[in-house]
Structure formats: C-alpha cells, structure tokens
Amino acid sequence: MDFNLNDEQKMMRQVAAEIADEQLAPRAEEMEENREIPADLLAFLAEQGYFGLFLPEAYGGVELDPVTYALTMEEFSRGSPAVALVVSVQNALVGLPILKYGTEEQKEKYLARAASGELFGAFALSEDEAGSDAASVQLRAEKKNGGYVLTGHKKYITNAGFAGLFLVVARTGPEPGAKGLSCFLVERDAPGFALGERFEGMGMRALDVRRLEFENCEVPAEALLGAEGEGLKIALASLDLSRIGVAGQAVGIGQQAFNEARRYAGEREQFGRPIIKFQGIQFYLAEMATRLEAARLLMLRAAARAQAGEPFSAEAAMAKLYASETANFCANLGVQIHGGYGYMRDYVVERFYRDARVTEIYEGTSEIQKLIIAGSILKG
C-alpha cells in the first residue's frame, strides 16, 4: 500500500496544522471555560471550506478524499479535539449521508447551506435504551396525513444546541430489529420538536451535547432520507467513515500529548539534568512514538481503502480501537512526564487526558469495535 501523500493532501495537512496551532490551540482553554465554540471561529472554518469537505463544488464543497479528512481531523485535534468533532459530524454524519442517500430536492435544500456554515447538522441515533445496541431504537415515526409523526427521544446528540437540521433514526416498522428503522431529516423548528437537557462531559467541554424530545413531531413525507427500512444501514455506513475521523482525532490528541511531554522533558531538570536524559523517560517517549505511528498507519490504511471504494468497516474499527487506546496511553504518560504540573488544570496535558477518554466511547465503544472486527474475522 502506498502511503505517500499527494501534493494536495500534503498542502491540506499543512493548512490544517497551521489552523490548529494559530487559531484552535490558543483558544482551546477559552472554549473549554465558556463551553462553546465561538461563532467567529465557526465562520472562519466555513470560509475555509471545512464544512463541505466531501461535497462537490456545485454545493459549495471542496470534495476532498477520506485520507485528507483523516489528516485534517488529526491536525485539528492537536489544537482542539472538540472543534474537530464539530467538523466531523457536519461532514461525515450529516453532509455525506444527504449527498449519498438524499433526493435532489433534499440536496438542493440543505447541502449548500451546510457547506457555507449557515446550517449545522446533528446525527441522532442514541437513546436511553439504544446505545451500543443501535438496532433497538424506540423513537417511532407513524405515517399520518401524508407525512410522519415522530414520538420519542434521543440522547447525547453532539452539536444539538446550534444545529438547524437533525438526521434522526426512527422506527417505521415493527419492533425489535434493524429492518424497521428509517432516517429522517428533521428541521429545528418542526412542530413538536424540542431540545432537552445539555450534558456536561468530563472533557471536550465546548461540545454542545443534548437530549432531543419529539412529541407528536410532524414532518412531511419528503423528510425521509433514503427508503423506509434503510435507516440503520445509512447510520452505520456513515459511522464507518466518521470512525476514521475519530481515529484521526485520537492520533491528534496523542500526538500533542507527546509533543508537550517531549518539550517539557527537555526543560525540566531533576538530579542535576533534564529529565529527558533519564532512560525511563526516553522509553516512555519511544513507546508513545511507536504507538502513534502504528495508529496513524491504521488510520491511513482505513482511509485509503475508503478512498479506493473498497470495504473498510473492519479497518475503520481497528483504526478507531487502536488509536483511541493510544490517545489514552499517550495522554496518561503525558501527565506522568509532567509530574505534579501534569495534574493541574492550567496545563494542556491535563485537558488532553480528559479529552482522550471519550474517543473510546463515542461512535461505538472499544468493545463494539472488537465485535465489528471479530465479525469480519468470523466471516473470513
């Protein structure tokens, strides 16, 4: 497999790295404190094309490939993993499914607005009783008056507070089972739709993650995305790609934890010399660097397969599983190498330690990634 990046991929990685260092990292603490991503930053990212990553020019997009997406997630996450996630949801979990499964009317209605940052989207699959077991979604969509009426709730929905459009997985067929699920595009002002409580996370506190309530929420027939019964297929295919983004996010967190640790180890002196001179510290750095390289290669392999149109579900799961464990490993050692400073709120490694944790949970826990990988092994 050829992992040499082409000129465009190199250039896009460089641009994303500069944005991370100059625009995201300096504001990460402010975003964390205020628990929001400032509107001017979102507008800047929109202007640079980051909300139309997979969309054709006709919809205002820049139509990049999955490798560039993964590299962008990695670089952005060195500065702010929360911002990277907002970008990932908008592209992989909202824009791309509409492009792939939407009608011409749906594409016309939403995609250019999504690419320009005028319209943010959220991806709503999880519920109280439907987490890892996504096929057990209970939110119902009943056919009525030529449209549908949605009743139920969603939980832990990222970007919900500022989203104008929600890709909602609902049950149109019998319970239980995956076949009875369908996807709907629900607008923020649909009658009967309301935002619920905002959750407060351990890390990535700038994320706006909420509960959604649907009480006899009426949507027109045209809100159906894809065919009835295709809901879980659309959701899981979208998650396959966005898991490569989470792998990139995890590599970025781990890489920046490494960078900070390496820098600090060169500056901090104990026993009359910089701590980087101690073999114990060097071994930590060596192990971090090795795992990061392996995680990055798994990420690139999954992205390259996606780019080539080959099946990549198991490869994306491997990349997410390994990269998220690596992020936690590196963040933990990043704190350790900083000693007491690493434990204090005003050091960036403390934030990465908290931010890394969720990469092993959302978009499918590590245990679910193992189920996907095992499933592919058993299939041969």
Cβ(236)–Cβ(309) under 8 Å?
A: no
Q: Is 126 in the site for ligand FAD (CB under 6 A)?
A: yes
Closest CA to 355 of 155, 203, 201: 203
Smallest gap from residue 21 Cβ to ligand FAD (A): 25
Closest CA to 243 of 356, 63, 125, 366: 366
Question: 184 or 264, CB closer to ligand FAD?
Answer: 184
Smallest gap from residue 309 Cβ to ligand FAD (A): 26
Q: Is 326 in the site for ligand FAD (CB under 6 A)?
A: no
Q: Is 132 in the site for ligand FAD (CB under 6 A)?
A: yes
| 50-89 positions binding ligand FAD, by CB under 6 A | none
Q: Which of 105, 127, 363, 367 is catalytic?
A: 363
- Contacts of residue 223, defined as CB under 8 A and 6 or more positions apart, other chains included, come to 147, 148, 184, 185, 186
Parallel, antiparallel or unpaired: strands 224-225 and 269-270:
unpaired
Q: Is 201 in the site for ligand FAD (CB under 6 A)?
A: yes
Size of the site for ligand FAD (CB under 6 A): 21
- Is residue 122 within a helix (H) or strand (E), and if so which, with residue range? strand 121-124
Q: Is 118 considered catalytic here? A: no
Q: Is 157 in the site for ligand FAD (CB under 6 A)?
A: yes
Q: Is 364 in the site for ligand FAD (CB under 6 A)?
A: yes
Token couple for 222: 């045209």
Q: Is 209 in the site for ligand FAD (CB under 6 A)?
A: yes
> Which stretch in 23-31, 186-194, 246-254, 354-362 sits in contact with ligand FAD by CB under 6 A?
354-362
Q: State the alpha helices, DSSP H only, in 20-91.
A: 25-34, 39-47, 66-79, 81-88
Parallel, antiparallel or unpaired: strands 193-198 and 121-124:
unpaired
The residues that touch ligand FAD, with contacts defined as CB under 6 A, are 123-126, 131-132, 156-158, 201, 207, 209, 358, 361-365, 367-368, 371
Active site residues: 363
